[in-house]
Amino acid sequence: MATDTPFKWTATRPNALVVACSDGRLQVATDAFLAREFKITQYDRFYVPGGGGALSASASSGNDVERAKQMCHECRYLVELHAVKRVILLFHGPTAGGRIEAACADYRRKLPWAPVAELRQQQEADAAELLGRRQP
């Protein structure tokens, strides 16, 4: 086992939780975005297919509604267990005019007929729905 790591464990929790898509192509960009926009480099991670959208049942039916409930339950558990004070929900998709292949695979699964603009509208609706459920 290597013991020469420059990283040290600390007892201090970051008190921030990021809910983001588990798509591995995004992780470096996600870290850079969070450092630039939120000035955070350490945070708890809840990475699941769909990111913040996994918590929303608005575009879902059947098993996805149950999945969203379970994801919310797991997220709430982390918030309480780690005394999280700030939750950041991330969604991803292609840039304007970008390729459909760059859209979130979980949204493409839920809405297989939808073009990029419609997927983005659903993500915005899901974000609004989640913000509406936010508790102080």
Among the listed ranges 8-16, 22-30, 39-47, 70-78, the one in contact with Zn ion (CB under 5 A) is 22-30
Residues 6+ apart with CB under 8 A from 65: 57
CB closer to Zn ion out of 31 and 82:
31
Distance, in Å, from the CA atom of 107 to the CA atom of 49, rounded to the nearest integer, reads 9
In the complex with Zn ion, which residue's Cβ is closer, 82 or 108? 108
CA angle 40, 44, 47 (to 5 degrees): 110
Q: Please, is 41 exposed, middle or buried when counting C-beta atoms within 10 Å of its C-beta (0-12, 13-18, 19+)? A: exposed
Q: How far, in Å, are 61, 62, 72, 113, 120 from residue 65 at the CA level?
A: 5, 6, 11, 20, 20
Task: Give min distance, CB of 48 to Zn ion, in A.
Answer: 9
Minimum distance of Zn ion from residue 53's CB (angstroms): 8
Total residues binding Zn ion (CB under 5 A): 3
Among residues 14, 15, 23, 88, the one that binds Zn ion under rule CB under 5 A: 23
What track of x and - describes contact with Zn ion for positions 87 through 106 (by CB under 5 A)? -----------------x--
Is residue 71 close enough to count as binding Zn ion by CB under 5 A?
no
Instruction: State the residue for tokens 């939120």.
Output: 38
For Zn ion, the binding residues (CB under 5 A) are 21, 23, 104
